[in-house]
Amino acid sequence: MEIQKYLESNTKNHLSSSMCSLLAYVLLMSEEVLDELNLMMYRTTLGSHMRLLPAVRCCRKAKLCECYLDDTCCETVALALQIPNSPLIELDMSDNDLQDSGVKLLSDGLKSPNCQLTKLRLKSQMCFIC
């Protein structure tokens, strides 16, 4: 609960790459389950918020919208879905340019008997010019 309060109170502060890594480590080592991990809530340098991504393993809801996720990120999320007793029940990966390989990795994670996900969001805001 203290980690959740810290995260909620520091959404306006800039987090360095090393702070993101440290925060992910603390979350992973903690016995607490984070209610929500929203990567867009934190002011970081481009790509630094990816260092928080391993924390999806210890949260109920993960909002990973507009985070420029690549295959490595999709693999991290897919592995989180496959962990026994995973607390992850809601996942929002909207507005990421997921390639076929990333979607395949996610699909493999969703097929796991350990996957507890009840809500998945993958919408894209692609514009087509005719």
pLDDT 10s digits, 6-41: 666 655 667 788 888 988 999 899 888 999 998 888
Q: How many domains in the chain? A: 1
CATH number at residue 17: 3.80.10.10
pLDDT at res. 4 = 62
To the question of pTM greater than 0.75 for the whole model, the response is yes
- Write out the two tokens for 25: 């480590």
The answer to whether residue 27 sits within a structural domain is yes
Residue 97's domain comprises 2-121
Cα 91 from Cα 78, distance rounded (Å): 11
